[in-house]
């Protein structure tokens, strides 16, 4: 069975459970303004990705450990209510193929794989590894919020398997979701659009998931990465705030109500911008001078008796790009970097160095003494003040 743990982008409240219409629990809030709207019910319908309005906010890919069997590599994916059987998935090789290029998915969960439940792909070489990628839509059982009858949500899966050069590496199937629910309603006289999508990929909509709200005129904003908020959080429509009072586990119905957050929309945006302190850092055109060859950087560090700052990055890494823009151009970081020798390494193009330094994700920053002893290590986005302190460690 897949590992159900997913790194959440923000701290979430407790789950809602599987009731037909679950009430959201929050800390006490200020009352809505006098004369504000009564609650409004909005119906939502499932949307399968692939069109021009694909959403840009998504959880990390789910990891499913694979078990080797006589038929290939097998796993199970749990999607839907707890009483729904898991979806059996198997990877195999067609005759003559060196790599896993076929996936079998038990869409109807009946224990039998039909011909239309098998898909093939052409593995591609990327970042020094062979990637096999698949996509399909599986029906996930749910309950109609109006009639109580059984229905299903079309759940688009993007799946991929990466064959590691190391024969002893753990075999993992990864998947992400490419579907959401969307609906329209009139809220305080404004025609609005609501979007809900999973942040925990379990096929059930609850407090662990996310939502976005906008006017019809600003609908495109819904699909941007910074528009999504936890279902337990409020969202803005113009200068007024709203929250979800209840959400159906199918995701096909929500009830909204007015909410007074005690701040303006502008102040709220500043408060939520975790990069705001780094955006405000002083810049005079200086930046960190990174070398690109580890061997020459090590020689410089030994000769100058300085620590060696090693930055692992990748072209596709969003936090890496944000640090390049906001952190390594800040005057205080540029000044601190003069006390060390800096080198950047593209992990995708340097698999041997990734293995040597046991690098697990991007960005990863490592500080080595002049003789190569590891002093510090940190992964993920690191702000200006933290980076200045990181670089200041003594040999």
For the beta sheet containing 72-77, the strands, ordered from the edge strand earlier in sequence to the opposite edge, are: 67-69, 72-77, 87-92, 102-105, 118-120
Closest to 57 in 3D by CA, of 224, 194, 229: 224
Report the DSSP pairing between strands 118-120 and 102-105: antiparallel
**Where do the domains of the chain lie, and which CATH numbers do they carry?**
1-272 (no CATH), 294-391 (3.40.30.10)
Spatial CB neighbours of 244, under 8 Å, sequence gap ≥ 6: 24, 211, 231, 232, 254, 255, 256
pTM of the model: 0.73
Place of tokens 């823009």: 325
Largest CA distance in the chain: 76
- Would you give per-residue pLDDT tens digits along the chain (395 residues)? 665 433 333 333 333 333 333 344 433 334 444 445 669 999 999 999 876 667 888 787 899 999 999 889 999 999 999 999 999 999 999 999 999 999 999 999 999 999 999 999 999 987 678 899 999 999 999 999 999 999 999 999 999 999 877 767 889 999 999 999 999 999 999 999 999 999 999 999 999 999 999 999 999 888 887 789 999 999 999 999 999 999 999 999 999 999 999 999 999 998 888 888 999 999 999 999 999 999 999 999 999 999 999 999 998 888 999 999 999 999 999 999 999 999 999 988 888 898 899 888 899 999 999 999 999 999 999 999 999 999 997 76
């Amino acid at each position: 069975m897949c590992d159900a743990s997913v790194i959440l982008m923000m701290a979430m409240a407790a789950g809602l459970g599987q009731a037909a219409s679950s009430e959201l629990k929050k800390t006490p809030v200020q009352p809505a303004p006098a004369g504000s709207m009564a609650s409004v019910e909005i119906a939502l319908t499932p949307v399968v990705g692939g069109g021009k309005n694909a959403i840009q906010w998504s959880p990390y890919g789910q990891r499913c450990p694979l078990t080797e069997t006589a038929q290939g590599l097998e796993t199970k994916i749990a999607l839907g209510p707890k009483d729904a059987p898991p979806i059996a998935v198997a990877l195999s090789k067609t005759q003559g193929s060196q790599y896993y290029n076929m996936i079998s998915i038990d869409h109807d969960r009946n224990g039998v794989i039909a011909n239309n439940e098998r898909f093939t792909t052409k593995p591609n070489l990327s970042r020094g590894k062979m990637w096999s990628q698949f996509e399909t839509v599986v029906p996930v059982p749910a309950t109609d919020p109006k009639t109580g009858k059984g229905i299903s949500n079309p759940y688009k899966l993007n799946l991929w398997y990466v064959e590691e050069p190391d024969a002893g590496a753990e075999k993992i199937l990864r998947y992400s979701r490419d579907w959401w629910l969307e609906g329209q309603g009139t809220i305080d006289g404004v025609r609005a659009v609501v979007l809900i999508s999973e942040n925990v990929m379990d096929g059930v909509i609850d407090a662990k998931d996310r939502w976005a709200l906008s006017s019809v005129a600003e609908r495109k904003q819904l699909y941007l990465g910074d528009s999504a908020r936890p279902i337990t959080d409020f969202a803005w429509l113009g200068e007024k705030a709203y929250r979800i009072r209840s959400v159906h586990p199918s995701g096909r119905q929500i009830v909204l109500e007015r909410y007074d957050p005690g701040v303006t929309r502008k102040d709220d945006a500043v408060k939520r911008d975790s990069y705001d302190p780094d955006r405000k850092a002083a810049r005079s055109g200086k930046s960190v001078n990174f070398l690109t060859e580890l061997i020459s950087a090590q020689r410089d560090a030994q000769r100058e008796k300085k620590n060696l700052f090693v930055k692992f990055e990748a072209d596709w890494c969003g936090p890496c790009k944000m640090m390049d823009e906001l952190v390594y151009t800040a005057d205080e970081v540029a000044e601190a970097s003069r006390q060390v020798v800096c080198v950047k390494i593209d992990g995708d193009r340097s698999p041997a160095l990734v293995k040597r330094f046991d690098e697990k994700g991007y960005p990863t920053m490592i500080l080595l003494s002049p003789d190569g002893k590891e002093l510090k290590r940190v992964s993920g986005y690191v702000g200006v003040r933290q980076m200045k302190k990181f670089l200041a460690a003594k040999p």
